[in-house]
Amino acid sequence: MKSLYQPIADFFEKDIWQVHRQDPFWKDFVLNICRLVYLVLYGVTKKRLAVRATALAYTTLLSIVPLIAVSMALFKVFGGFSIVQEKLEPFIFQNLAIGTGEVVKNYILGFMKNLHTGALGITGFVFLILTVIGLLSTIEAAFDDIWGVRKTRNWLRRFNAYWTMITVGPILLVASLGFGAYVHSIPFASFFIYLLPYILTWIAFFLLYIYMPNTKVHFRSAILGALIAGSLWELAKYGYTWYAKASVSYNAIYGSLGALPLFLIWLYLGWVIVLIGAEISFAMQNIETYRQEKWIANLSYEFKEFLALILMTYICEQYEHQKGPVSAQEITHTFTLPVRAVNDVLYQLAEAHLIIESGEEDRTYIPCQPLEKISVQDVMNALRLRGDRLEVLPKNK
């Protein structure tokens, strides 16, 4: 049996990575698709996507009502609540309460009514805000983990990002839904009406993939992930609606609470699709160096130290020759290294104050100390003080 699958394994692990410049365009295109599929599947299995999706599903279950309620409350305070409520509520329930009937919808609307009447009070509203921040932080951590980013945004940039998602997101969505109403008046509008849910989903996924990770994401990478994941989302809606209608066992066992397990299953499935799209964006952007990603799992500590010396030397040389700061993207392409390994080592060097980081998304690095004061021992100690080993090289007196 092993010999039967060995040629397939060799094809995906070795053959598709052989670059031949004389290959025709169509062959190179097919090989790139095979590489992308392999790298996405590898990332999905190695980055524990299912575990991440489970955590996000439970967090969303606890936070989705506060998120919607806080967003609606802000519109009630600053105006435009009736318009947003009229346009946004149907869209939300069509995408979140799929197949669960009126139970989830009535629960959310009842909670929002209590919020609007002031029944929760200031303490309750603050708790809602903290719950929403917890959800958005969990989402950001999941995306940063996929992209191999260890440093989180500062709280000011987090506040700006979260505020944008809570306020501007619904505004854009309402504008898009208003465009959908305009489309109805156009001849041959049925085709546009059919595509409108896909277009809205693609836009939402694109903004999520390009804005949520704490790193610079290329437009074409985010677009590819959004197109594939958004299409999967819409197809999953049809399949899950059929499943929810056909599944009567939950209602027989749980009664009116039967909508809750179905809702949780949909949340899990939705987050699996979202994270797969993030993996696609990451693989697309790093396909040239991502082929070495499988090395990270078996990366020896000695090689990690060697990698730290290479990166530190390169950063110092660029600085000494006045070529400016060095970005992680530049390093990965110059040395053909996996981006996650590079980000990990750069993070540890920055924590040891050997290099200084500038920029939030497109991060660049320069030495933090005079070059003559940086020794090999300093680089080794930077990893050993913060790595798996505890020994530290002594300073020469």
The CATH number of the domain where 340 resides is what? 1.10.10.10
Q: Which of 263, 287, 311 is the last residue of a domain?
A: 287
SS3 26: helix
pLDDT for the residue 397: 40
Same domain, 328 and 218: no
Residues 282, 356, single domain; the answer is no
> How many domains would you assign to the chain?
3
Same structural domain, 109 and 240:
yes
Are residues 95 and 226 located together in one domain of the fold? yes
CB contact burial 249-276 (16+ within 10 A = b; e otherwise)? ebeeeeeeebbbebbbbbbbbbbbbbbb
- Name residues of the chain where pLDDT drops below 50: 1, 387-397
**Alpha carbon distances (Å) from 352 to 304, 311, 382:** 16, 14, 5
Angle (CA) 356-381-295 rounded to 5° is 85
Question: Does residue 393 sit within a domain?
Answer: no
Per-residue pLDDT at 81: 55
Does residue 17 sit in the same domain as residue 56?
A: no
Same domain flag for 154 and 256 = yes
Is residue 300 within 8 A of residue 165, CB to CB? The reply is: no
Please report whether residue 389 resides in a domain.
no
pLDDT of residue 391: 44
Q: Do 255 and 315 belong to one domain?
A: no
The position carrying tokens 């606890």 is 62
Beta-carbon count within 10 A of 311 CB: 24
Regarding whether 343 and 229 lie in a shared domain, the answer is: no
108 and 124 in a single domain? The answer is: yes
Q: C-alpha angle 278/279/285, rounded to 5°? A: 90
Domain end point (choices 287, 310, 341): 287
Contact between residue 277 and residue 133 where contact means Cβ atoms under 8 Å apart = no
Are 201 and 237 in the same domain? yes
Asked whether residue 38 falls in the same domain as residue 54, the answer is no
Query: Residue 31's domain spans which residues?
Result: 2-45
pTM for this model (two decimals): 0.71
Count Cβ atoms within 10 A of the Cβ of residue 220 and give its class: 0-12 exposed, 13-18 middle, 19 or more buried.
Answer: exposed
Report the distance separating Cα 311 and Cα 317, nearest Å. Answer: 10
- Give a yes or no: residue 212 inside a domain: yes
- Establish if 391 belongs to a structural domain: no
| Same domain, yes or no: 195 and 337 | no
How far is it, in rounded angstroms, from Cα 331 to Cα 338? 10
